[in-house]
Amino acid sequence: MLIHLTGSKTKTYYPKPIRKIKYYDKEYHHRYEFITNNMEMAAQDIADIYKRRWQVELFFKRIKQNLKIKSFWGTSMNAVFSQIWIALIISVLLWIGKTLAGITATPLQI
């Protein structure tokens, strides 16, 4: 399905048509709608790209929640991996300190 923007500002900013893709996920029984300016790829390919991207977003959300990483210091693959490994090592060391050594201080106090 092609969509043309009709708003006065949006029409001037992006006058080309936009493609709307509807996708039904049989696994989760949920219907999704995607908007893209890619007119050449198959609808299933675009839906798969969005699905994979969502998995990456969920991965980083879990990393930030469980490892208490507020932000990533670098954007390269090596920088992100290094920071994740450091956070994992610190988490394990804090867990060992709390369970085996009986440390009651918070991670901030340590």
Residue 36 tokens read as 């893209």
For position 106, what pLDDT does the model report? 67
- Closest among 98, 88, 97 to 68, alpha carbons compared: 88
Length of the chain: 110
pLDDT tens string 50-86: 888 888 888 878 777 777 777 788 889 898 889 888 8
pLDDT tens string 16-27: 999 999 999 888
**DSSP structural state of residue 21:** E
d(CA 38, CA 77): 27
Summarize the confidence of residues 26-46 as an average pLDDT: 90
Q: Is the pTM of this model over 0.75?
A: no
What is the residue-wise DSSP string for 70-81?
-S-S--SHHHHH
